[in-house]
Amino acid sequence: MTARPNFFIVGAPKCGTTAWAEYLRTHPQIGFARQKEPHYFNTDFPDFRWARSQADYLSFFEGCEGKTAIGEASVMYLYSSEAAANIARFDPGAKILIFLRDPVRFLPSYHNQLLLNLDEDIRDFGQAWALSGERAKALPSTCRDAKFLDYPAAARFAQQIQRYRAHFPDAQIKILRMEEWKPNPRAAYLDVLEFLGLPDDGRVDFPVIHKAKHHSSGAVAKLIQRPPGWALRVAAAVRRVLGLKRLGLSKLLRRMNTGTGYAKRDEENAELQDEIRAALAEDQALLQQIFKERSHG
């Protein structure tokens, strides 16, 4: 029988989702998609999906047969306006894991990731924030979706969570905030295992995963990640001549062109932080109301 996922880490990006996927995938009763972040269910982001058919999607779970919990982590499912409904149609009994972070910390990190992915080309976060909502008029040529660059919308977590609450009961949704789980990941891990109906496997090591990175050269990154037609043709010709399936050159170049840390770490800008808080105040108030409702549910 084909293995089917029954729990989903849906985001938000840069809130510990990659770390939690790594922590959970080693549990003996958990199976995880072999393809990192399939993004199958965010049909409103057509250029950010790595599986186009259900058959292709389910092929990512080959080898997971017999596992109690089978999952995947696709960080744009939370921001997507269609993923919650799509997942509910696929499995109305699915369990949903949502990871959040203070928007003031989330947004610069999210911006840095967009730079790394070549969806963003403005290196200064303050400038990118100020242009939110206007970018559709002049998108970077390598940006896969204008909505990625709408920074206030990306951080309206309460609005995004409500889409999942419309399709799943609260008992099937678990929300963890980075500021709360990071000081004691072991306790959070046990909490997540209980949510998934799994026993403790004794894990006590919770290393930092997926440190911030940046490109040393934007031009090299663009050549590797969005290669022009001529580069693809040259690579194909070289492979034919050498009789190779792949050269491995892009992977080597990517590693050489990637440094750790932020491309440009903004100074603590109290004025910008206050502006972000003001812009998201209504959504953050709704988020607090959601937590209150869930605690009394």
Does the N-terminal peptide bond of residue 154 adopt cis geometry, omega within 30 degrees of 0? no
What is the 3-state composition of the chain as percent helix, strand, coil, each rounded to the nearest 5? 45, 10, 45
User: Is pLDDT at 218 greater than 60 in this prediction?
Assistant: no
DSSP code for 243:
T
Residue 170: CB atoms within 10 Å? 13
User: Can you give the pLDDT at residue 74?
Assistant: 97
Residue 216 has pLDDT above 50, yes or no: no
Chain segment 9-51, per-residue pLDDT in tens: 999 999 999 999 999 999 999 999 998 899 999 999 999 999 9
pLDDT value of residue 137? 80
Q: What is the pLDDT of residue 219?
A: 55
pLDDT over 90 percentage in the chain: 73
Domains delineated in the chain: 7-104+153-209+284-295 (3.40.50.300), 213-260 (no CATH)
Give the mean pLDDT of 223-251. Answer: 61
* pLDDT for the residue numbered 232: 59
- List pLDDT tens digits, range 72-106: 999 999 999 999 999 999 999 999 999 999 999 99
pLDDT of residue 36: 85
pLDDT of residue 251: 56
CB 92 within 8 A of CB 171: no
**CB–CB of 100/175 below 8 Å?**
yes
Q: What does residue 54 show for φ and ψ, rounded to 5 degrees?
A: -65, -35
Percent of the chain with pLDDT over 70: 79
Give the pLDDT of residue 238: 64
The amino acid at residue 33 is A
Tokens of 56: 């292709």
Q: Which is it for the CA torsion 253, 257, 261, 267, positive or negative? A: negative
pLDDT for 84 equals: 98
Q: What is the pLDDT of residues 169-205, one digit of tens each?
A: 999 999 999 999 999 999 999 999 999 999 999 999 9
User: What pLDDT is stored for residue 133 in this prediction?
Assistant: 80
Identify the weakest region by mean pLDDT among 22-26, 139-143, 217-221: 217-221
Least confident window among 24-38, 108-122, 185-199, 211-225: 211-225
Residue 154 pLDDT > 60 = yes
d(CA 13, CA 111): 10
Mapping DSSP to helix (H, G, I), strand (E, B) and coil, where does residue 221 land?
helix
16 dihedral zone (left: phi>0; alpha: psi -120 to 50; beta): left
Average pLDDT, the chain: 88
pLDDT of residue 255 exceeding 80, the answer is no
Q: How far is CA 77 from the centre of its chain?
A: 8
Residue among 79, 135, 77 at smallest CA distance from 103? 79
